[in-house]
Chains A and B, each alone.
Chain A
Amino acid sequence: MRTKYKVFTAAILVAILALAAGCGGSKGGRAGKVVIGSKEFTESIVLGEMVAQLIEENTDIQVERKLNLGGTKVNFDGIRNGDLDMYVEYDGTAYTAHLGHTEPITDRAGFFDQVNKELQEKFGLTFTAPLGFNNTYTLAMPRKLAEQYGIETFSDLVPHSRNFAFVGTTEFMARSDGYEPLVEAYGFTFKSAIQMKPGLRWAAIEDGSVQVIDAFATDGNLKAFDMKILEDDKDFFPPYNAAVLVRMDTLEANSGLKELLDSLGGRLSDEKMQELNYRVAMLEEDPADVARDFLKSEGLIP
């Protein structure tokens, strides 16, 4: 009688564990279905929507969205193990974060192709045609403050940095092309440096508790918060050309997909991207709507 219960309970536990472990279908490189990821900030979500709608409206491929999934590493791990088929990535990010390079870049013109080639060889992933804008990391501070101190470049900021508080995204604070190496390269001495989720940094700027943030060049909030982008005079940051990063086996399994994704090439300028970001971030429009408007205006979807 006693052993009955033990066996019963054990069986249940095993069943549960088996259920949990066994849950997970086939991944990556399937024909007829793609999973699209994105990072956790506005631009990534808008672009993710764009790619999703482009595929949905032009093919029979079933699209599953996993937007706002997480940081760079989460997306990259996802695409590598097949949980994701594609997401929009930046060549500079791939260079440092995925390919692990630390050497300074000598050939800026051929950078994108060089990175692409390496991704293909090392990971079986490829960029399709670059979208046309360079969303470089930069530092930004309130325009009035910059003018008051006469700060135009990163180097200008260095002597004043001990008067300022810095906030960066979690990712920026930890990346090898991020906060620590930047501080080392320039010699900043910020009076404090904390991390926050991307959107919240702006609340911190607004209430004045921080003055300098890691900004993306196409961030929609820059205009709204009257921020000045400082010039990276020592060329610390690599270029960050955006393009769709996709599994090569997914492209092979779905004919016409590569051409479709390439059709997005060169369609977005820095200004255009910033405008789209602005609409979502400040005007609180739905990323799906903004993406749809853009695709329609470019004649990419009916």
Chain B
Amino acid sequence: MEFLNYVVHNAPTILDLTGEHLQLALMGVLCALLVGVPVGIFISRHPRWVGPVLWITNAIQTIPSLALIGFVMIFLGLSRETGVTVLFLYALMPIIRNTYTGVTAVDSGIIEAARGMGMTSWQILRMVQLPLALAIILVGVRVALVTAVGTASMMSLAGAGGLGELIFAGIDRVNTKMILGGALPAAMLAVLAEVGIGALERKLTPGGLQPTR
């Protein structure tokens, strides 16, 4: 029908925008990992900071996306950087929280044993805590990525491109084909991220820790 014609005619543009969209989400989550994992590890060692850090990241989550885009735009203007920064901020909470939970969930008995074997704190982190926490951290990454892909639709307002360009242009011109042309790929990306990382989680979780079905 008409919509299929539209998609075929505009395939290069749609693919371009989808790529841009995915890139935005990935960059945001990547930056959140670079900052969030160390922070998560840090607060697991310094319990005093757990409250404040989690409170701040939770507060960031509560800021409505349009408002956050506006706030970041004040400093970074209309640009890709604005888009990535907003997505980065939103991805922080799942990652920090899950890193913290993952690392602290490792049984203290196991850590005792490792210390008994003569491992340094750094070694314990690297060889015991992180691998076991990986499964939980991955869940955080999954949540972060799926949210990022969803929120990235708004980033075209920040001048960052992505499928939102098509959606908003479609709304402006009351053109359903354009709206669908942007919304469907975005929804598909979200589902893909959800399923894809879900599969990765199952593969990387040591057998003993697999959730029972």
Taking Cβ atoms with an 8 Å cutoff, the residues of A that contact B are 1-2, 4-6, 8-9, 12-13, 15-16, 20, 23-24, 40-42, 68-70, 74, 78, 83, 197-200, 202-203, 280-281, 284, 286
Q: Are A1 and B122 in contact (CB under 8 A)?
A: yes
Q: Does B165 contact A (CB under 8 A)?
A: yes
Chain A's closest residue to B27 (CB) is A19
- How close is A280's CB to chain B, nearest CB, in angstroms? 8
> What is the interface of chain A mostly: helix, strand, loop, or mixed?
helix
- Which one, B76-84, B128-136, B201-209, is touching chain A? B76-84
Size of the B side of the interface (Cβ < 8 Å), in residues, is 31
Please indicate the chain B residues that have their CB under 8 angstroms from the CB of A198 in the complex. 172
Chain B's closest residue to A199 (CB) is B172
Q: Are B45 and A5 in contact (CB under 8 A)?
A: yes
Given contacts A5-B41, A286-B9, contact A68 B165 (CB under 8 A): yes
Taking Cβ atoms with an 8 Å cutoff, the residues of B that contact A are 9-10, 31, 34-35, 38-39, 41-42, 45-46, 76, 78-81, 84-85, 88, 121-122, 159, 165, 168-169, 171-175, 177
Please indicate the chain A residues that have their CB under 8 angstroms from the CB of B159 in the complex. 69-70
A13 to B165, CA, bound (A): 30
Given contacts A20-B76, A23-B80, A284-B177, contact A9 B172 (CB under 8 A): no
Q: Are B171 and A200 in contact (CB under 8 A)?
A: yes
> What is the interface of chain B mostly: helix, strand, loop, or mixed?
helix
Q: Are B174 and A9 in contact (CB under 8 A)?
A: no
- Choice from B81, B88, B169, B172 contacting A23 with Cβ under 8 Å: B81
Please indicate the chain A residues that have their CB under 8 angstroms from the CB of B34 in the complex. 12, 15-16
Please indicate the chain B residues that have their CB under 8 angstroms from the CB of A284 in the complex. 173, 175, 177
Given contacts A20-B76, A20-B85, contact A5 B38 (CB under 8 A): yes
Chain A's closest residue to B85 (CB) is A20
Please indicate the chain A residues that have their CB under 8 angstroms from the CB of B122 in the complex. 1, 4
Q: Are A281 and B38 in contact (CB under 8 A)?
A: no
Please indicate the chain A residues that have their CB under 8 angstroms from the CB of B177 in the complex. 284
Interface centre among A9, A42, A83, A198 (most CB of B within 10 A): A9
Please indicate the chain B residues that have their CB under 8 angstroms from the CB of A70 in the complex. 78, 159
A11 to B168, CA, bound (A): 38
- Choice from A1, A24, A202, A286 contacting B174 with Cβ under 8 Å: A202
Between-chain CB contacts (< 8 Å), 26 pairs: A2-B46, A4-B122, A5-B38, A5-B41, A8-B38, A9-B35, A13-B35, A16-B88, A20-B81, A20-B84, A23-B79, A23-B80, A23-B81, A24-B79, A40-B172, A68-B165, A68-B172, A69-B78, A69-B159, A74-B78, A83-B78, A197-B171, A200-B174, A280-B173, A284-B175, A286-B10
